Structure 1
Amino acid sequence: MRIAHISDTHITGESAYKGYAYDLIVNEINRGNFDFVIHTGDVTNQGLREEYERAAYELRKIQKPLVVIPGNHDVRNVGYTLFERFIGPLNGVFEFKDGVVIWVDSTIPDLSDGRVGGHKFRWLKKKLEEYSDRKFKIVASHHHLVPLPDTGRERNVLFNAGDVLDLLLRHEVNLYTCGHKHVPNVYRIEDMVVDNAGCTSCRKTRKGDVNSYNVITLYDDGRIEVRIKRVTGEQVVKEHRPVRPKLFVPKGKRLIRIIQMSESNVSDRIYFRRKVLENAIRTINEKLKPDIVIHCGDVVDMGIERYYERAYEFYEMIKAEKLIVPGHNDITYLGYDLFLEYFGEPEIKELGGFTFIPVISAQYETPIGVVGRIGQRRLAVRLEEYRESFTVVVMHHNIVPIPKSREVGFLEDAGDVLRVITKREANLVLTGHGGNSFGLKVEKTPIVNSGSISWELHRNPYGNTFNVIDVYRDMVVVFEIQATWGSGRLVGIWKIKAPFRISSSPPSSP
């Protein structure tokens, strides 16, 4: 089964539209052995009637079955009514042999941002349940699910991207196709391929790139291949083989135990749960006995001295090695200087073949974080320098969307940071923004977010929690521990290929 994936044609009478690129790609699709075509939105440039009239004409050039999804440009000027009139339904289902494409409108009129909210989210869930027996389940929408590289400042991701991502993974969706950012990209997230198409016929490309489209091949054995084809003839191919079996049992001794926490927000406000934090620290010291404790930011609620004094007293109680990175709350007011005074500059820690690399993402007086181009280069150098050890990147801001959180691009260069992490194959990434525990594997790297350990204003149905991370030679196991009564639940188990060096010098016993 072969699918042509095009996107962001931006058909208009103005110079933004490159008709020759569109015709070149459409002719190639018509001559090719394709079963159907998916267009993931921004068919038009302004959602105007004359654009839709021309778009309807241009789309008829495609001589294959065609699925078209609306984009944010298509719904400008009340263009969603014209979309239904000239192109087709905003949401729908396309069935094919052994599979189904479920497309969902993610647009918000007159905004570049996206959302699959309320009724559409429940409709998507119902359709995934209805077609749960299909070998290939494809969900198509316009907006991207995870941050993309080379897109400038991260924005316009789905507001509820974390919830949608969680829904797709729970229903074992094989492929998510989208467009929107004019950048072709392919990621493997757990056992799902996320396929972003570049722009087919718009002049607005990134970094001087050219127009392109993606070729998706579905194989009988479950493999998915995505080929990015540029009009210059350049091709990039990525293939995903499904993980089998999906049940893992760790081999050998545990190599290290990590406690991960975040958002203690120590203060004298009623939202700070002092006894919960005390109980969690006691459990960590007496029962869990970790090799290292990682705090992923927001140690205090505000950067004032009496809060730092109290926080220092709490975390001095922890007996294990500690690494604490600042969150956005920590550097408000005098917090930047106070953090350095009480906890010191976060530095790389090496522990029995494991290397913990702190990354500072917090900025003054804003929840929006940034690593920066210099910070990205420094991280890439560190990951290369320590590639023979097990590398753990520690930072405050999340780089993948978190369920039950409104995603507004809290790390403004998340796409470029994620590329550094996946390209350099960091062995583990720990983050702590968003107030909810969540974990998934992007490419070869497990990424784990910690919930709030002692702040009442969190987003975790399980309450205040922290994570216990046990690393074995062949896998990472993460449990979320309820900070009040100590019960645990599984966040994730991921197979890994640990560096050879760590197998000979484990810092802890099972």
Structure 2
Amino acid sequence: MIRIAHISDTHITGEGAFKSYAFDLIVEEINRGNFDFVIHTGDITDQGLREEYEQAAYQLKKIKKPLVVLPGNHDVRNVGYKLFEDFIGPLNGVYEFKDGVVIWVDSTIPDLSDGRIGGQKFRWLKEKLEEYSDRKFKMVAAHHHLVPLPDTGRERNVLFNAGDVLDLLLRNEVTLYTCGHKHVPNVYRVEDLVIDNAGCTSCKKTRRGDVNSYSIIELHDEGEVKVTIRRVIGDEVSKEHKPVRPKIFIPGGKRILRIAQVSESNVSDRVYFRKKTLENAIRMINERLKPDLVIHNGDIVDAGIERYYEMAYEYYKGIMAPKVVIPGHNDITYLGYELFQEYFGEPEIMELNDVVVIPLLTAQYETPIGVVGWMGQKKLRGLLQEYEGKFRIVALHHNVIPIPRSREVGFLEDAGDVLKVLTDEGTELVLTGHGGNAYGVKIENTPIVNSGSISWELHRNPFGNSFNLIDIYTDMVVVWEVQSTWGSTKLLGIWKRKA
């Protein structure tokens, strides 16, 4: 077994932000513990100043274990990235250990709180993952978080290209992604990737009245990963994950529901709207695929004007299956809020045998940024508890996870808290439709599936315009992406249903 101490956000400074007693307490625990090495995921200093780096170099020497340190956004302020290399070490690098490797990468942008692993750094990370592909344990470390976190306020500062990085890590079967940045400890499992966000080790700025903490990571010989959040006060919290075996499943049991998931038709008279593509997709849905239900995840029109709504209504009234239509941000521009209600009605909860579809409204006037809000989150949790025992589908427009080929700027401003509600309640399926690219992953026990654009030319999908076909079996959920023009398909995801 490999045992790792994960610290972050020490914010060493002479101006009162640094809690030296918390740092010394945690370092003493680490030195007395049987750890193989320690990883510090950034914000060693508070302002990236020379006097802070001098103090940080002195403080870090107290750790008597092998130490991997990488920069955070505070460290690169005031051209601190130059001082980091002088006082701490390389901004990017590789640390090898028994059966495994840590690849750390600088995710900072000078003088910004935002993060990015792009350009040369992305290619370098890809090359290193290929170079060390034979290792049993592959760890990637950066400062910025990869998926939205709960209890952090308004979602921001997730990696700009978080979707691309997440996809890269999953494709290369990375075991663990470690990060810090938000001063909140959290552990998520995304497919077989464990994401460990360390809390705040020794800074006064904790959130939600929390206390300082660090993470204990255990990598077991059989592939199991255990992460324990160790607070200076209070009980330990641990999460364990065993890799899913086998990776490929064959759907079994009875198919209980088929859904066509559609998004971003953006009906209009603009040149970017592909009329024949939408007509062909609707014909394919009716004649060949024959779903039990169609869910449109928003942006049914390009702008909220009556002419576009009349056109969209004529297209979609031709779909034979029952429909759930959820407004996107384009749909409620101008007079769209009233027109959506007039032409498609208020989205309502739909029950089909043992399946219930819960629409979640996120769109706001005149902005692509969505929100659920405290009241909406409370209502959502109540509905998920009310329908516990059924196959619960939550359908909304905005993304709750980052998707590839899209710059992630927090389109759902409370995504971290919403994701927490969805995963806490074990939601059986979440459907979203923003960003113009199809994608699907399972976080904890909840598959989250995003639909690409069915008929809008300005999309981000190399597969072209598409929609998703979702088959729900008694024991599995299978998602196919269907090309809108030719009808060719590819597997987007297949997940066992929870027992």
Residue 420 of structure 1 aligns to a residue in which SS? helix
2:186 maps to 1:185 = yes
Q: 1:503 — aligned with what?
A: none
Q: Residues 365-380 of structure 1 correspond to what in structure 2 (within 5 A)?
A: 365-380=366-381
The one-letter code matched in structure 2 to 1:461 is P
Q: Residues 103-502 of structure 1 correspond to what in structure 2 (within 5 A)?
A: 103-497=104-498
CA distance in 2, matches of 1:233, 1:399: 30
The one-letter code matched in structure 1 to 2:342 is E
CA distance in 1, matches of 2:62, 2:496: 46
Residue 258 of structure 1 aligns to a residue in which SS? strand
CA distance in 1, matches of 2:342, 2:184: 43
Q: CA deviation at 1:497?
A: 2.2
The one-letter code matched in structure 2 to 1:464 is N
Residue 123 of structure 2 aligns to a residue in which SS? helix
CA distance in 1, matches of 2:475, 2:95: 40
Residue 485 of structure 2 aligns to a residue in which SS? coil
CA distance in 1, matches of 2:483, 2:98: 45
Normalising by structure 2, we get a TM-score of 0.99
Residue 114 of structure 2 aligns to a residue in which SS? strand
CA contact (8 A) 1:186 1:194 kept: yes
CA distance in 2, matches of 1:113, 1:11: 20
CA distance in 1, matches of 2:390, 2:97: 46
The one-letter code matched in structure 2 to 1:240 is H
Residue 377 of structure 1 aligns to a residue in which SS? helix
Percentage of identical aligned residues? 76
Q: CA deviation at 1:113?
A: 0.3
CA distance in 2, matches of 1:474, 1:71: 43
CA distance in 1, matches of 2:477, 2:426: 15
Q: CA deviation at 1:474?
A: 1.1
CA distance in 1, matches of 2:219, 2:483: 42
CA distance in 1, matches of 2:415, 2:234: 30
Q: 2:45 — aligned with what?
A: 44
Q: CA deviation at 1:354?
A: 0.3
Normalising by structure 1, we get a TM-score of 0.97
Q: CA deviation at 1:14?
A: 1.1
Q: CA deviation at 1:252?
A: 1.6
Residue 116 of structure 1 aligns to a residue in which SS? coil
Q: Give structure 1 stretches of 5+ with no counterpart.
A: 499-510
The one-letter code matched in structure 2 to 1:39 is H
Deviation per CA, 1:434-469, whole angstroms, max 9, x where unpaired?
A: 100000000000000000000000000010000000
CA contact (8 A) 1:17 1:203 kept: yes
CA distance in 1, matches of 2:228, 2:460: 38
CA distance in 2, matches of 1:145, 1:468: 27
CA distance in 2, matches of 1:183, 1:475: 33
CA distance in 1, matches of 2:484, 2:451: 12
CA distance in 2, matches of 1:50, 1:253: 67
Q: CA deviation at 1:379?
A: 0.4
CA distance in 1, matches of 2:69, 2:95: 11
CA distance in 1, matches of 2:268, 2:5: 55
Residue 122 of structure 2 aligns to a residue in which SS? helix
Q: CA deviation at 1:251?
A: 1.3
4+ residue runs over 3 A deviation:
none
Residue 255 of structure 1 aligns to a residue in which SS? strand
The one-letter code matched in structure 2 to 1:398 is N
CA contact (8 A) 1:137 1:173 kept: yes
Q: CA deviation at 1:254?
A: 1.0
CA distance in 1, matches of 2:479, 2:235: 41
Q: CA deviation at 1:32?
A: 0.4
CA distance in 2, matches of 1:437, 1:481: 10
Q: CA deviation at 1:328?
A: 0.2
Residue 255 of structure 2 aligns to a residue in which SS? coil
The one-letter code matched in structure 1 to 2:350 is K
CA distance in 2, matches of 1:96, 1:113: 31
Q: CA deviation at 1:255?
A: 1.1
Deviation per CA, 1:29-84, whole angstroms, max 9, x where unpaired?
A: 00000000000000000000000000000000000000001000000000000000
Q: CA deviation at 1:275?
A: 0.4
CA distance in 2, matches of 1:365, 1:235: 44
CA distance in 2, matches of 1:387, 1:189: 23
Q: CA deviation at 1:250?
A: 1.2
CA contact (8 A) 1:369 1:410 kept: yes
Deviation per CA, 1:132-165, whole angstroms, max 9, x where unpaired?
A: 0000000000000000000000000000000000
Residue 388 of structure 2 aligns to a residue in which SS? coil
Residue 330 of structure 1 aligns to a residue in which SS? coil
CA distance in 2, matches of 1:362, 1:375: 12
The one-letter code matched in structure 2 to 1:127 is K
CA distance in 1, matches of 2:325, 2:373: 20
Deviation per CA, 1:263-291, whole angstroms, max 9, x where unpaired?
A: 00000000000000000000000000000
CA distance in 1, matches of 2:20, 2:498: 47
Residue 392 of structure 1 aligns to a residue in which SS? strand
The one-letter code matched in structure 2 to 1:303 is G
Which stretch shows the higher mean deviation, 104-113 or 251-260? 251-260
Q: CA deviation at 1:253?
A: 1.8
The one-letter code matched in structure 2 to 1:381 is G
Q: CA deviation at 1:233?
A: 3.8
CA distance in 1, matches of 2:482, 2:165: 25
Deviation per CA, 1:410-454, whole angstroms, max 9, x where unpaired?
A: 000000000000000100000000100000000000000000000
Q: 1:508 — aligned with what?
A: none
CA contact (8 A) 1:372 1:413 kept: yes
CA contact (8 A) 1:473 1:497 kept: no
Q: CA deviation at 1:261?
A: 0.7
Which stretch shows the higher mean deviation, 251-260 or 394-403? 251-260
Q: CA deviation at 1:211?
A: 0.2
The one-letter code matched in structure 1 to 2:115 is G
Q: 1:504 — aligned with what?
A: none
The one-letter code matched in structure 2 to 1:148 is L
Q: 1:76 — aligned with what?
A: 77
The one-letter code matched in structure 2 to 1:223 is E
Q: Give structure 2 stretches of 5+ with no counterpart.
A: none
CA distance in 2, matches of 1:191, 1:252: 25
CA distance in 1, matches of 2:427, 2:197: 23
